[in-house]
Amino acid sequence: MGGLTLDLRPGAGLGAFNLGMPVCEAFAYVEQHRSFFDVVHVKYNDEVRFVLFQDVSLSD
């Protein structure tokens, strides 16, 4: 497994991912570029109403 290198843009985003970008766009990007991402984990808390927080891990 190789490493994944993404450009960090403080306050703006990471690689092709932008802060505030719709989740469906982020998932579409990951799906279209499967060779870049070995494993993708998506975690969310459905117990807190009206707050959307997701943690997406792009590696093992």
At 59 the pLDDT is 60
Per-residue pLDDT of the chain (60 residues; tens, 9 = 90+): 467 778 888 889 888 889 888 888 988 998 898 888 777 877 766 776 655 556 666 665
Whole-number pLDDT of residue 26? 87
What pLDDT does residue 28 have?
92
| Residue 36, in any domain of the structure | yes
Structural domain for 50, as ranges? 8-57
pLDDT of residue 32: 92
What local confidence, expressed as pLDDT, does residue 48 receive?
Answer: 67
Q: Is residue 2 a part of any domain in this protein?
A: no
d(Cα 20, Cα 7) in Å, to the nearest integer? Answer: 17
Tally of structural domains, the chain: 1
Within a domain: residue 1? no
